[in-house]
Amino acid sequence: MSDRDRIPELPPMAFAEAATEERLERVWKRLEGDLGAAETPGLVRSRFRRRRDVILLAPAAVVVFASGVLVDQAFRPVAAPDVVLGREPGVTRTEPAATPEPAPEPRSESPDSTERVRERRPRARSPRVAVREPPSDEPEVVVVESAEPAPQSVPPEWYRLWDEDEYQKARETIERQGGFEAALEQASADQAMALVDLARFSRENALAIAALRRVVDRYPSDPNAPIAALTLGNMLERAGDTQGAAEAFQSYRALSPEGDFAEDALARQIEVAIERRDHVRAGELLTQYEQEFPNGTRLEELRAELREAEAAAPVEPVPAPASQSSDESNASYEPPIRIPVKGDVP
Amino acid sequence: MVAGTNARLRLIRGAADASPGEDRVSRVAHLDDAQLVALVREDDRIAFEAMYRRHAAFAMNLAVRIQGSATDVEDVVHDAFLRAHQRLAELRDAAAFRSWLGAIVVRLVRSRLRRRRLLNLVGVSAADPVDLDLVASTDASPEVRALLAQVYALLRTLPADERIAWTLRHVERHRLEDVAELAGCSLATAKRRIARAQRYLTEHYVAPYEARVRLTEDAR
């Protein structure tokens, strides 16, 4: 055996740590920039999509320009300003019946059920009211104080930016001014919903969920609360938290028993119970559905789903997660807000 | 996946009560890779940052040790994470994110090495010099540094595939199966590449004088 036959083993400790904090931070900054620039979940858009965007850009620009001209012509002769009152928590404003409700702004985001709900929510525009000349015959505004935490007298900077659809700047402002949690702590219901928008815009679903929880838990009497509960259910279901989703759908029904989405929320609760293989609970909820919505559009479908699930697996409720506290385990299917629901099985 | 669900639940519930100054990433840092992958698939940027913080050093060290230099290594790590984010839906076993990321890094480095080798062959570009200060620890003895310098100098002359396979096996100390997975080839191919590189290194490696004397004495 010659001296060339052996290469000594390379000791692991012989190697340096090339990944310094400085290098890693530099790469992260670049990545963060790319993430921020990406409008779509995929960061790098394909060449096809880029080319398609360029092709669509020209007609879109023409349409936008023409729409702008038409809108300008339509609104120029109106003497009175189109004042849109913002809705603040605990503040009720009376308006004449003739005052039209502002139409919800269309969104360009995904057309799922959550987004449809969000589209129905009128956007607060209070800062814009402040800069316009009020009409002389403006009706008297009656303000009713509530027991809920008093809203801030001056809307925070980020809220103004959000209202102007400057989402990126609003998100950056929040970070500069103490962070998302601090903003949420002081937020009114409207502002918390705006924070939900911002968190979802910046793909921070955990923060969006936290903000929705805040609306449901702290402002149950606010008109935003049912929508927040439904959106919360949708997001938790997508995140795989079926128990949290069930609670949120239950909350929606508690907050808005006659709401537009009560039937849908109950159907979703049934689906979640089936998914969790809690067939007893699913059966109870299905009975409720039959009673409350005898002509429900999903009645047959849900019956079939439950039949199929029961045939596929034995009936046994899914035990509460072991890692949760006993209090949480006992309240496995209770909504965060204890409001009785019509016909609900205790 | 009950455990994952619980973790997410705690995370979500805790988020609202977190103090303003608390590091956002630290709130998801306790989640395992599978849970973080699930969140990233839901477009959670904080979870993605947590994944980056957890695996970026591994990716960078892997790239540096295969290349033997820091040239473009930041680009490699950047591109690897971008690609991982973009193709996360293709990851079948979410818990195996680290090795999947490693395979991406290896492919990127391989492309880069092959490109450099081609440019070098046509005389457009010179091969990257080995950056010994970057590769070798400051605690390494002079003998070990000399050994590394010689090994990396020899590796530079090998084809990229053989260089990668040998480095993954003898520097990164991966199992043969893992080498095959990271290199994106069959186990037999991985073994063949390692053996070919080993044969080449053995043929060309020159042990220091003291080692040769010791070996001769041992032989007697």
Testing the interface with B: which of A5, A27, A45 to mutate, by most B Cβ within 10 A?
Answer: A27
Chain B interface includes A175 (CB < 8 A): no
CATH number of this structure's domain B25-129 = 1.10.1740.10
Question: A22, A23, A238: best mutation site toward chain B, by most B Cβ within 10 Å?
Answer: A23
Residue spans per domain, chain B: 25-129, 132-220
Examine the pLDDT at A346 and tell me if it is beyond 80: no
The answer as to whether A299 is a domain residue is yes
Q: Determine which of A23-32, A66-75, A193-202, A230-239 has the lowest per-residue pLDDT on average.
A: A66-75
Residue A118 lies in a domain: no
The answer to whether the Cβ–Cβ distance between B5 and A240 falls below 8 Å is: yes
Q: Which of A183, A203, A219 is the last residue of a domain?
A: A219
Task: Name the A residues in 253-292 with CB < 8 Å from any B CB.
Answer: none
Residue A169 pLDDT > 70: yes
Residue A122: predicted pLDDT: 41
Query: DSSP class of residue B126?
Result: P
B125: confidence class by pLDDT, cuts 50, 70, 90: low
Nearest CA in chain A to B53: A24
3-state SS, residue B84 = helix
Residues contacting residue B33 through CB under 8 Å, at least 6 positions apart: B51, B54, B94, B95, B96, B97, B98
Residues B41-54 have a mean pLDDT of 89
Q: Which of A1, A10, A206 is the closest to B151 by Cβ?
A: A10
Lowest mean pLDDT among A132-136, A211-215, A262-266, A315-319: A132-136
Give the residue with greater pLDDT, B215 vs B49.
B49
Assess whether A210 and A321 both reside in one domain: no
* 8 Å CB contact of A27 and B211: no
More confident residue, A40 or A238: A238
Q: Please give the pLDDT value at position B58.
A: 93
Q: Is residue A33 less than 8 Å (CB to CB) from chain B?
A: no
Q: Do A303 and A205 share a structural domain?
A: no
Query: What does the pLDDT read at residue A102?
Result: 40
pLDDT band per the 50, 70, 90 thresholds, residue A316: low
Residues A233 and A343 reside in one and the same domain: yes
Nearest to B60 among A11, A18, A214 (CB): A18
Q: What is the pLDDT of residue B79?
A: 92
Q: What are phi and psi of A281, to 5 degrees?
A: -65, -40
Residues 6+ apart with CB under 8 A from A13: B137, B139, B140
What band does B194 get if pLDDT is binned at 50, 70 and 90?
Answer: very high
The mean pLDDT of chain A is 67
Which range marks the domain in which residue A158 is found? Answer: 154-219
For residue A187, what are its two tokens? 């937020």
A105 CB-contact burial (10 Å; exposed 0-12 / middle 13-18 / buried 19+): exposed
Answer yes or no: is pLDDT of A251 > 80: yes
Residue A13 is given by DSSP the state G
Chain A, residues 67-126, CB within 8 A of chain B, namely none
Determine the distance in angstroms separating the CA of B21 from the nearest CA of chain A, rounded to an integer: 7
What is the pLDDT, as a whole number, of residue B216? 60
Q: Which residues of A touch B46 (CB under 8 A)?
A: 204, 206-207
Nearest residue on chain B to A235, alpha-carbon basis: B42
What is the pLDDT at residue B30? 82
In a domain, A197, yes or no: yes
pLDDT of residue A130: 33
pLDDT, average across residues A89-114: 38
**What span, in angstroms and rounded, lies between the C-alpha atoms of A317 and A238?**
22
List of chain B residues whose C-beta atoms are within 8 Å of the C-beta of residue A17: 57, 61, 137
Does residue A301 sit in the same domain as residue A335? yes
CB contact under 8 A, B28 and A206: yes
Conformational region of residue B173, where left means phi above 0, alpha means psi within -120 to 50, and beta covers everything else: left
Q: Which residue of B has its CA nearest to A329?
A: B6
The answer to whether residue A258 scores a pLDDT higher than 70 is: yes
**Cβ-count burial A111-148 (b if 16+ within 10 Å, e if not):** eeebeebbeebebbbbebeeeeeeeeeeeeeeeeeeeb
User: How far does CA A326 lie from the centroid of its chain?
Assistant: 29
What is the complex's ipTM, to 2 decimals?
0.77
Residue A124 lies in a domain: no
Contact A323 B47 (CB under 8 A): no
Examine the pLDDT at A56 and tell me if it is beyond 50.
yes
Q: How many residues does chain A have?
A: 346
Last residue of a domain, one of A193, A219, A245: A219
Together in a domain, A330 and A296: yes
Q: Which of A168, A198, A219 is the last residue of a domain?
A: A219
Q: What is the pLDDT of residue A89?
A: 39
- Please answer yes or no on whether B9 and A244 come within 8 Å at the CB atom: yes
Query: Is 3.20.20.140 the CATH number for B132-220?
Result: no
pLDDT of residue B23: 66
Inter-chain CB proximity B38 and A240 less than 8 Å: yes
| A283/A299 same-domain check | yes
CA distance B86 to B102: 15
Residues A205, A229, single domain; the answer is no
Asked if A122 and A236 count as a contact pair (C-beta separation under 8 A), the reply is no
Percent of chain B at pLDDT > 90 equals: 25
For B77, name the nearest residue in chain A, comparing CA atoms only.
A27
The sign of the CA dihedral A305, B39, B19, A145 is negative
Greater model confidence, A80 or A242: A242
Q: Within this chain, do residues A254 and A328 fall inside the same structural domain, yes or no?
A: yes
Distance CA B55, CA B13 (A): 26
Residue A95 forms part of a structural domain: no
Residues 6+ apart with CB under 8 A from B62: B102, B105, B106, B109, B172
Mean pLDDT score across all residues of chain B: 80
Instruction: Say which residue the tokens 């537009």 belong to.
Output: A260
Instruction: Find the CATH number of the domain harbouring A265.
Output: 1.25.40.10
Residue with token string 């970057």: B134
Q: Is the pLDDT of residue B102 over 90?
A: yes
- Record: contact B140-A179, CB cut-off 8 A: no
Q: Which of A24-28, A113-117, B34-38, B81-85 has the lowest mean pLDDT?
A: A113-117
How many domains does chain A divide into? 2
A137-154, pLDDT tens digit by residue? 444 433 333 444 444 567
User: Phi, psi at residue B16, to the nearest 5°?
Assistant: -70, -25
Q: What is the pLDDT averaged over residues A282-295?
A: 88
